[in-house]
Amino acid sequence: MGSITSFPVGSALLRMAGFQPRVKRADEIVNNSAVLQNDNDLLVAVEATSTYLVLICAIYRASAVADFQTAFAIPAGAELDGVKFPDLTGSNWQRNVSTGPESHIGDGVAIDGTFLYVGRLVVAGTAGNLTLQWAQNTAEATDCTVRLGSWMLVLKVA
């Protein structure tokens, strides 16, 4: 069974409703680097003086030593306000307000993990991209992977 975004009709319906769906079509790997990098697929162009609903589900695999960190790149002057799971302790929802890169650290377990984010992006006078950034939390010579099927939905609400 696939997700609604994996079927042409599902993606078309989401776009007709105003959503901008993004789905990872292949695994993306970072190895031996704790430097945040922009995800190749999970980014959306946003307009100036607009407000967006943001939903993200990133499925990842990282070793217990390397762990996993995320952040968001947003346009200058924008504010991203939302909740993420897991929080920095790896266990609870955590509210955060960000005007720039915002870090998240995984749960330190060498299994597939899921990073969930629900938020609101308020873009001021500068358009740009909302981009998920990620890397290992501690550089290690193992693969850190954001998996095929991870997704982002963005909806302009004002």
- Average pLDDT score over the chain: 83
The size of the chain, in residues, is 158
More confident residue, 11 or 45: 45
More confident residue, 2 or 14: 14
Q: State the average pLDDT over residues 37-55.
A: 97
60-70 residue pLDDT tens: 998 888 888 88
pLDDT at position 26: 96
Task: Tell me the β-bridge partners of 144.
Answer: 30
Beta-carbon contacts of 9 under 8 Å, excluding residues fewer than 6 positions away, are none
Q: Can you list the domains of the chain with their CATH numbers?
A: 24-156 (2.60.120)
Strand 151-156 versus strand 37-46 pairing type:
unpaired
83-130 residue pLDDT tens: 877 655 555 555 666 655 555 566 655 667 888 889 999 999 999 999
3-class DSSP state of 48 = coil
Q: Is the pLDDT of residue 45 over 60?
A: yes
